[in-house]
Amino acid sequence: SAVISQKPSRDICQRGTSLTIQCQVDSQVTMMFWYRQQPGQSLTLIATANQGSEATYESGFVIDKFPISRPNLTFSTLTVSNMSPEDSSIYLCSVAARLWDTEAFFGQGTRLTVV
Amino acid sequence: ELKVEQNPLFLSMQEGKNYTIYCNYSTTSDRLYWYRQDPGKSLESLFVLLSNGAVKQEGRLMASLDTKARLSTLHITAAVHDLSATYFCAGIIQGAQKLVFGQGTRLTINP
């Protein structure tokens, strides 16, 4: 299984500011994903982070609000831009060698509170 | 579009009892995943079910997959307090390369 290090683990931010979350994996992985989990809710996929190219965003999520980078096969960042209290959530990085017949692993999550 | 629905969403049970969590999905998803999440923690992979009729067991948990019924179950045998957590199932559409999660079942096991 992959070991995923996600930073920061939590943060309290002022509205209107931006926060960048880092996801580091201990081995090269094909697939990296970013999820949002609002309080008491399930996981919603924000985007698939593509190595060397623009991320693939899900409906309802846009690059200007959630820019993502993936410079190599072990690292990705998610930025939450121009934050509002509605962005208060847990943000999770997930990785997989391939999804069809293996499992996806999750980082510890970043608990974001916007005040 | 794949939709995944779990029931029940909340379950409170006594230690020693058996119960089943159900996961229904709307379109073909020949793979099904179960995860556990403790409060304030990330997701822990429990089972990956790869084919129709697949059954996997780990301790007091057993998961199965019926692709014809588009149903997966997570059965808990002789529940213990340590199994209190939220359990998620997730499906995948081949070629889509992304998981779709159910709403989660918050399980509380009382001594």
User: pLDDT tier at B98 (50, 70, 90 boundaries)?
Assistant: confident
Q: Report the pLDDT averaged over residues A4-28.
A: 96
Per the CB < 8 Å rule, is A42 touching B101?
yes
Q: Which of A42, A43, A103 sits opposite B45 (nearest CB)?
A: A103
Tell me how far apart the alpha carbons of residues B102 and B105 are, in angstroms, rounded to a whole number: 9
Q: Which of A41, A100, A106 sits opposite B43 (nearest CB)?
A: A106
Q: Tens digit of pLDDT for each residue in B18-36?
A: 999 999 998 877 789 999 9
Tell whether the model's pLDDT for residue A31 goes beyond 70: yes
Q: Tens digit of pLDDT for each residue in A42-89?
A: 999 999 998 888 999 999 999 999 999 999 999 999 999 999 999 999
Q: Which of A41, A99, A109 sits opposite B99 (nearest CB)?
A: A99
User: pLDDT tier at A12 (50, 70, 90 boundaries)?
Assistant: very high
Q: Is the CB of A7 inside 8 Å of chain B's CB atoms?
A: no
The two tokens of residue A46 are 């924000």
Tell whether the model's pLDDT for residue B13 goes beyond 80: yes
Report the phi/psi class of residue B81: left, alpha or beta, with left for phi > 0 and alpha for psi in -120 to 50.
alpha
The SS3 call for residue A85 is helix
Q: Tens digit of pLDDT for each residue in B42-92?
A: 999 999 998 888 999 999 999 999 989 999 999 999 999 999 999 999 998
Residue B30 burial (C-beta neighbours within 10 Å; 0-12, 13-18, 19+): middle
Q: Tens digit of pLDDT for each residue in A92-104?
A: 999 987 766 678 8
> What pLDDT sits at residue A99?
67
The two tokens of residue A50 are 């593509």
The candidate with the shortest Cα–Cα distance to A105, out of B99, B59, B21, B78, is B99
Compute the mean pLDDT over every residue in chain A, rounded to the nearest whole number.
Answer: 93
Q: Is the CB of A51 inside 8 Å of chain B's CB atoms?
A: no
Per the CB < 8 Å rule, is B31 touching A100?
yes
> What pLDDT sits at residue B96?
74
Integer-rounded Cα Rg, in Å, for chain B is 13
Residues 87-106 of A with CB under 8 A from B: 92, 98-106
CA dihedral A26, A31, A36, A40 (to 10 degrees): -80
